[in-house]
Structure 1
């Protein structure tokens, strides 16, 4: 049976010593791992948002009738550094796709994409 010292709020049993140290040794690495996973997820989301913004910028430029080089330049100005940009014309619609690798080690290095479609403006 455990004895409790109500004045100090601690257990008086000597075998309880060291539990906090053991629990901290287990919880601390788990918290570091959780923090790393959250930071990786945030990086992937931010990369995906940049790809979407870059695809929209390129689609707007394509809809204005700008050249393929100008469309790619417009998308590249917003895209992450290592992004791959493809521009295609499909039945009167310009489709701009931006793909980039999300930062992460090994198997966590995944590809995220953003795609936008725009119809060419008349005139």
Structure 2
């Protein structure tokens, strides 16, 4: 029984380590996605890139890297970071999340949709 335990214990520890690394990667990815969405919303409202970087670092952590881009009225925020935790030095994963938002501050032409014409017998007061 001792020999079987000695053979099985490293395999169990390896599986446990992989499960912990996978869960740490999943949590890091969720934080990066939330930070990218928050940064894209702030950028769409007209915040500058420095303020967006502060928002992203607040949500994703101080080690997060931020890239901001603009393309024909669409703004994108790309956030990348590494997995943290006990197994992070063994598996140096870099995860990335990107969010897009339409700019709310551009001078888009306002669309006027006329209402229904009043009926001839309708009198306004």
Higher helix share: 1
Indicate if the aligned counterparts of 1:47 and 1:80 stay in contact, CA closer than 8 A: no
Of 77, 83, 107, the residue aligned with 1:96 is 77
User: Which 5+ residue runs of structure 1 have no aligned equivalent?
Assistant: 1-19
Alignment of 1:1-123 (within 5 A): 20-103=1-84, 104-106=88-90, 108-122=91-105
**How far did 1:80 drift?**
2.5
C-alpha distance in 2, partners of 1:65/1:45?
31
C-alpha distance in 1, partners of 2:89/2:11?
18
C-alpha distance in 1, partners of 2:32/2:14?
27
Between 74-83 and 51-60, the greater mean CA deviation after superposition: 74-83
Higher relative contact order (CA 8 A, sep 6+): 2
Indicate the SS of the match to 1:116: strand
Structure with higher Rg: it is 1
Aligned residues: 103
Indicate the SS of the match to 1:86: strand
- TM (norm. structure 2) is 0.76
Corresponding residue of 1:9:
none
- TM (norm. structure 1) is 0.78
CA RMSD of aligned residues (A): 1.4
